[in-house]
Chain A
Amino acid sequence: MLVNACVEKLFGYGREELIGQDVELLVPERFRGEHPAHRADFHAAPAARAMGAGRELFARRKDGTEFPVEIGISPIQSPEGTLVLSAIVDITARKQAEAEALQHRAELAHLSRVAIMGEMAGSLAHELNQPLGAIMANAGAALRFLERDSLSGENLREVLQDIVADARRASEVIHTIKGMGRKEEVARQLLHLNDVIAEIVRLTRSDALVHDCTVLTWLHPSLPKVEANLVQLQEVFLNLILNAFEASKEVPTVRRRVIIRTERDGDGAVRASVRDYGTGLPADMPERVFDRFFSTKREGMGIGLFIARSIVVAHGGTLWAENAEGGGAQFWLRLPASKEIGV
């Protein structure tokens, strides 16, 4: 091995320690065993390329510490046979920046969930108060009947069944809220897109009422499942639906309709669209709505759709928007279907 001054600095060796040694000295011990085989492969078909074929590479300093690297290798013909020129770049700083960016995005996503929950607080309170109100009225009625000794066993059973059903309804709402507030939740599961949408439509019911919007769903009955994170996917639809309500604010009540559809997209994907008849997107560049901090709302932070898109992209899907024929905006979401068979 021949080295230059940069290598000395990068690895902490003096050049006399390296010259003539095998290059494996610079490879972390855990990769050393397989390295000669890679070398042989390269010599069999020598051509300039990046080393590692997409794997993350690490190098080892004299003191045993490791650092992430990128290595370009190219063959050089010399009288002594084929030499390999390796250009090694220390990418510690870049990796750190990437990790920070990821962290930022997670924080941003959390922030947007919190913001959305704030916006939805009214809806959530309504969803809870409804079953709680019914439980209290039912229990009160039963007590009054009992006091007057005019409650049959059959009637009592009916009241209790209703109370149980409403308590369950309330706990489902809480379950959903708990899921939404959690900071990190990346586990994916097999989901029915239709179920996710139905749940969000239910949760946004009172927002719909406040905005005087009618929500219509047109859900394909036999969609393949998708592999996704429930909370994140809920957040995507929450964003799209709340946006649609917001966009409908300025138009007459008869036009305040939001139509949500799901359909198959070939064999390998499912598609959902959220369409409103509101003010529409900026005509020249509808895609601007996905920019970070692009907002038309006075109190909006402009990160909702940005987050929604990054979630969809992280799931291997696409999210795009267009101005629909007849006015209003239409958002499209495409997700790869799970390989698993069964609906």
Chain B
Amino acid sequence: MTLAHALVYVIDDDISMRKAVGRLLESEDYSVEMLTGAREFLARAPHTGPSCVILDLNMPGLNGLELQEALAERGRAEQVIFITGGASVPTCAQAMKAGAVDYLPKPFRDEDLLSAVKRALERSSEQWLQRLQRKEVRDRLATLTPREFEVLKGVIAGRLNKQIASQLGTTEGTIKVHRGRVGRRWVRHRWRSS
């Protein structure tokens, strides 16, 4: 699996706002996609790389907070930055609690938006990295036999060969053989050093 480049979505029903924010991002060489509404965004296939969404809070149809919720429900990893023309403390609190990167009342300073985008994309990259590592681990685990997997679980739990053997109803010698195979195929260096 390879990562696509970073992408910033701008979702605002106000065309001049959308254009202006898009321009600002392009001035810093970000790839930008502009959308008029939340539903349009949800209907798209998710971007397969670090991404963030600059989201207007007050939009007809699905509003910003509802989109944030919908993304969370679908387990999507886009980081959200809210921009709003009518900031209020309760909506800000709700947005941040739900994991927004930032909440910027319009008009905002360009550096504030750009630094929020930077943070959002860093967060998103980290998530992608973790996701990739998890996938690698899963792929390797899939190469083990069920017996070897049981032995590995015992090893990770810090048990002695003796203990694992009695738990699995076999001899210490057998466990040693299994450990050897698991180690050769996978994470030998890890438990040698321990």
Residues of A that sit less than 8 Å from B by CB: 122-123, 125-127, 129-138, 140-142, 144-145, 148, 159, 162, 165-166, 169, 206, 209-210, 214
Contact = CB atoms under 8 A, between A and B. Distances in A.
Interface of B: 14, 16-17, 19-21, 23-24, 26-28, 58-60, 63, 83, 85-86, 105-111, 113
A141 B24 contact: yes
Contact of B27 (A122, A125, A131, A145): A145
Contacts of B59: 209
26 contacts: A123-B86, A125-B86, A127-B85, A129-B106, A130-B14, A133-B83, A133-B106, A134-B17, A134-B19, A134-B20, A135-B107, A137-B24, A137-B107, A137-B108, A138-B20, A140-B111, A141-B110, A142-B23, A142-B27, A144-B110, A159-B23, A162-B20, A165-B16, A206-B58, A206-B86, A214-B60
B85 A137 contact: no
Contacts of B14: 130, 134
Given A145-B27, A209-B63, A132 B106 contact: yes
B5 to A, nearest CB: 20
B178 to A, nearest CB: 60
B18 to A, nearest CB: 9
B16 A140 contact: no
A133 B21 CA distance: 9
Contacts of B21: 137
Contacts of A131: 16
A219 to B, nearest CB: 19
Contacts of A126: 58, 85-86
Given A129-B105, A133-B108, A209-B59, A166 B27 contact: no
Nearest to A127: B85
Contacts of A159: 23
Contacts of B107: 129, 132-133, 135-137
A129 B27 contact: no
Given A137-B17, A144-B24, A165-B16, 15 more contacts: A125-B85, A129-B106, A130-B16, A131-B16, A132-B106, A132-B107, A134-B20, A135-B107, A136-B20, A137-B23, A137-B24, A138-B19, A159-B23, A206-B58, A209-B59
Nearest to A132: B107
A70 B80 CA distance: 75
Contacts of B60: 209, 214
A166 B24 CA distance: 16
B28 A134 contact: no
Main secondary structure of the interface of A (DSSP, over half): helix
Contact of B26 (A123, A141, A165, A209): A141
Nearest to B25: A141
A134 B58 CA distance: 15
Contacts of A132: 106-107
Contacts of B110: 136-137, 140-141, 144
A159 B86 CA distance: 25
Contacts of B20: 133-138, 141, 162, 166
B17 A130 contact: yes
Contact of B109 (A122, A136, A214): A136
B67 to A, nearest CB: 14
B85 A130 contact: yes
A141 B23 contact: yes
Nearest to A212: B63
B116 to A, nearest CB: 13
B27 A130 contact: no
The 4 closest A-B pairs by CB, nearest first: A140-B110, A133-B106, A137-B20, A144-B27
Of A144, A145, A162, most B-chain CB atoms within 10 Å: A144
Given A129-B85, A165-B16, A138 B106 contact: no
A339 B21 CA distance: 49
Contacts of A138: 19-20, 23-24
B113 A137 contact: yes
A63 to B, nearest CB: 64
B104 to A, nearest CB: 9
Contacts of B86: 122-123, 125-126, 129, 206
